[in-house]
Amino acid sequence: MSNIKDVAKAAGVSTSTVSRVLNNNPLISFETREHVMKVIREHNYVPNSMARGLSTQKASAVALLVNIEDKDTDSFDNLFFHKIMYGIENVLYKNDLSLVISNLSNSRSSKERLNRMVQGKQIQGVIIPTLVLTPDLIKTLTAQKIPFVVIGEPEYTTVPFDWVDINNMQGGQQAVQHLIETDYKRIAFLGGEPGSLFNHKRLAGYRTMLTQHNMPVDEALIAECDGGKAGACAEMARLLELTPPPDAVICGNNIISLGAMKAIAEKGLTIPRDIGIISFDNYPIAELVEPTLTTIDINVYEMGVEAAKLILKLMANPSAHHQVSLISTSIQVRESTIK
């Protein structure tokens, strides 16, 4: 394993020169640069990242925090996480940074762990899903001046910081827009996670788009459930009892959609003829049910990309003013809304 001295000796130059070549210092003459590069290649030399980090006082990694209390929890949301992770990794890689995954499951030790990583110079910045974020964590991060970016609009906003999220409002609008265009008239909204920010935003989009089309916003058509299939089914059944009943429903996620579909089937109605259904999130399950589900597709990969870009900016300039980035949603039309 050769080091910079070996290369310098072999090239007949000083280590400074080799270092300059490695870091694209413009002061190096063309000939010297070419020559040193050649020797580097011949030696198959790769600079030691720890020596470099020690010298520059910069870590070459960014941490993505996760929080799994129960290792057996098995949610579709993990598919989100997966894609976000890829988005982040891709951007970091291009910037010669690596991505480390850190589980902050135990809240008591999490602060200490974060400390160890940052103070120990293992990581330079942190990306945090909003679900993992706590006021306490924010305090630690800001106190330690650790650059961080949050994924998902935060509930806590005591201090300003960077975050990325899906444009949930736009998603709500797209859903309504599509249903109206497909000639559905009475559109219900069946959200999950009552009180959540994203549900609120989607609903706002729903309202504005209805209004924009001069259609009434009937509060009776707006429902919420716990996000589970059974709860969604019950709530959908209730909506179907209304007079007149809705002829379309926007569901908060794929599982809610399953519940809604069950209620619709039990009522003897047919999708999409009697009632249209459109779902937020685009999990593989959307293509496996019958009819296949029209979805508001959430580009989570792009969310990861944006998060990574934000953290890069922040690490380059920790005092930069804080930014927010919203990722556009898109609609994936399938059978459940094709009359």
Residues that bind DNA (CB under 7 A): 1, 3-5, 12-20, 22-23, 26-29, 31-32, 45, 47-48, 51-52, 54-57
CA dihedral over 20, 22, 27, 33, signed as positive or negative:
positive
> Is 94 a residue that touches a second copy (CB under 8 A)?
no
Of a second copy, DNA, none, which one sits near residue 68, judging by CB under 5 to 8 A according to partner kind? a second copy
Of DNA, a second copy, none, which one sits near residue 9, judging by CB under 5 to 8 A according to partner kind? none
**Residue among 25 and 98 whose Cβ is closer to a second copy:** 98
Which residues are 329's β-sheet partners?
A: 298
CA 145 distance to own-chain centroid: 23
Q: Which residue has tokens 């809304």?
A: 337
Q: What is the spatial distance between Cα 176 and Cα 193, in angstroms, rounded to a whole number?
A: 20
Q: What is the spatial distance between Cα 310 and Cα 261, in angstroms, rounded to a whole number?
A: 40
Residue 104 Cβ, how far from DNA at the closest point, in Å?
23
Of a second copy, DNA, none, which one sits near residue 31, judging by CB under 5 to 8 A according to partner kind? DNA
Residue 150 Cβ, how far from a second copy at the closest point, in Å?
19
Binding mask 151-190 for a second copy (x = CB under 8 A): ----------------------------------------
Q: What is the spatial distance between Cα 107 and Cα 122, in angstroms, rounded to a whole number?
A: 20
Of a second copy, DNA, none, which one sits near residue 154, judging by CB under 5 to 8 A according to partner kind? none
Question: What is the pairing mode between strands 98-103 and 125-129?
Answer: unpaired
Q: 190: closest CA among 134, 250, 136, 247?
A: 250
> Is 100 a residue that touches a second copy (CB under 8 A)?
yes
DSSP single-letter state for residue 187: E
Q: What is the spatial distance between Cα 25 and Cα 33, in angstroms, rounded to a whole number?
A: 10
Residue 139 Cβ, how far from DNA at the closest point, in Å?
24
**Residue among 57 and 214 whose Cβ is closer to DNA:** 57
Q: Residue 296 in contact with residue 75, Cβ under 8 Å?
A: no
| All residues at 6 or more sequence positions from 146 whose CB lies less than 8 Å from its CB, including other chains | 114, 118, 125, 126, 140
DSSP single-letter state for residue 245: P
> Is 336 a residue that touches a second copy (CB under 8 A)?
no
Given the rule CB under 8 A, which of 6-14, 114-122, 167-175, 328-336 is the region that contacts a second copy?
114-122
Q: Residue 122 in contact with residue 61, Cβ under 8 Å?
A: yes
Residue 319 Cβ, how far from a second copy at the closest point, in Å?
18
**Residue among 24 and 214 whose Cβ is closer to DNA:** 24
Q: Which amino acid is at 92?
A: L
Identify the residue among 31, 69, 72, 219 touching a second copy (CB under 8 A).
72
Identify the residue among 285, 308, 312, 327 touching a second copy (CB under 8 A).
285
Query: How many CB atoms neighbour CB 259 within 10 A?
Result: 24
List residues binding a second copy (CB under 8 A): 1, 44, 46-51, 53-54, 59-61, 66, 68, 71-72, 74-76, 78-79, 81-83, 85-87, 89-90, 93, 98-103, 113, 115-117, 119-122, 229, 255, 258, 262, 282-285, 288, 290, 301
